[in-house]
Amino acid sequence: MSDPDERDTRSKILIAAATMIGEGPATRLSVRAVAARAGVSTGSLRHFFPTQQELLDTVVEGLQTLDLPDDPMADPTRPPAERLEACLRVLLSSVGTGSTARRNWVSLHDAYIAAAGRDDTAPTFLAMERLAVDRVERWLAVLREEGALRPGDLEGHARFLLTVVNGLSLERALPGAAARIGSEAASLRQAVSAVVS
Amino acid sequence: MSDPDERDTRSKILIAAATMIGEGPATRLSVRAVAARAGVSTGSLRHFFPTQQELLDTVVEGLQTLDLPDDPMADPTRPPAERLEACLRVLLSSVGTGSTARRNWVSLHDAYIAAAGRDDTAPTFLAMERLAVDRVERWLAVLREEGALRPGDLEGHARFLLTVVNGLSLERALPGAAARIGSEAASLRQAVSAVVS
DNA sequence: ACCTGAACACCGTTCAAGT
DNA sequence: ACCTGAACACCGTTCAAGT
Q: Is the CB of B47 under 7 A from strand D?
A: yes
Average pLDDT (B174-180) is 87
Which chain B residues in 51-90 lie under 8 Å from chain A, judged by CB atoms?
Answer: none
Look at chain B and count its residues.
Answer: 197
A194 has a chain B CB within 8 A of its CB: yes
Instruction: Tell me the per-residue pLDDT of B48-65, one tens digit each, with 9 for 90 and over.
Output: 999 998 998 898 888 767
pLDDT band at A5 (very low <50, low <70, confident <90, very high): very low
Average pLDDT (A90-114) is 88
- Taking C1' of D1 and every protein CA, the nearest residue is B47
Q: Nucleotides on strand D with an atom closer than 7 A to protein CB? A: 2-7, 10-16
Q: Do A170 and B168 touch (CB under 8 A)?
A: no
Portion of chain B with pLDDT greater than 90, in percent: 57
DSSP B8-58: -HHHHHHHHHHHHHHH-SS----HHHHHHHHT--HHHHHHH-SSHHHHHHH
Residue B2 Cα, gap to closest chain A Cα (Å): 39
The answer to whether residue B146 scores a pLDDT higher than 50 is yes
CA gap A1, A158 in Å, rounded: 46
Average pLDDT (A5-21) is 85
pLDDT value at residue A151: 95
Q: Please check whether residue A134 is in contact with residue A60, taking contact to mean a CB–CB distance below 8 angstroms.
A: no
pLDDT value at residue A100: 87
CA gap A167, B90 in Å, rounded: 18
Burial tier of A84 (Cβ tally within 10 Å: 0-12, 13-18, 19+):
buried
Instruction: Tell me the per-residue pLDDT of A49-90, one tens digit each, with 9 for 90 and over.
Output: 999 889 988 887 787 665 556 788 888 899 999 999 999 999
Q: What is the dihedral of CA B87, B172, B127, B188, to 10 degrees?
A: 30
Pick from A141, A151, A167, A156: nearest CA to A83: A141
Q: Name the 3-class secondary structure at B196.
A: strand
Q: Please check whether residue B12 is in contact with residue B39, taking contact to mean a CB–CB distance below 8 angstroms.
A: yes
Instruction: Tell me the per-residue pLDDT of A179-190, one tens digit each, with 9 for 90 and over.
Output: 888 899 999 999
Query: Which residue would you say has higher pLDDT here, B126 or B115?
Result: B126
Average pLDDT of chain A?
87
Identify which of A167, A174, A190 has the shortest CB distance to residue B113.
A174
Q: Do A105 and B113 touch (CB under 8 A)?
A: yes
pLDDT value at residue A47: 97
Pick from B36, B75, B164: nearest CA to A166: B164
pLDDT band at A118 (very low <50, low <70, confident <90, very high): low
Q: Is the CB of A159 under 7 A from strand C?
A: no
Q: Please check whether residue A158 is in contact with residue A164, taking contact to mean a CB–CB distance below 8 angstroms.
A: no
CA gap A40, B8 in Å, rounded: 50
Q: Please check whether residue B129 is in contact with residue A182, taking contact to mean a CB–CB distance below 8 angstroms.
A: no
- Nearest 5°: the CA angle A178, A181, A186 is 160
Identify which of B117, B160, B187 has the shortest CB distance to residue A187.
B160
Q: Name the 3-class secondary structure at B116.
A: strand
Phi, psi angle pair for A119, to nearest 5°: -140, 140
Query: Which residue would you say has higher pLDDT here, B28 or A120?
Result: B28
pLDDT band at B6 (very low <50, low <70, confident <90, very high): very low
Query: Which residue would you say has higher pLDDT here, B174 or B27?
Result: B174
Q: Name the 3-class secondary structure at A140.
A: helix
Average pLDDT (B145-168) is 96
CA gap B147, B196 in Å, rounded: 9
CA B144 to chain centre: 22
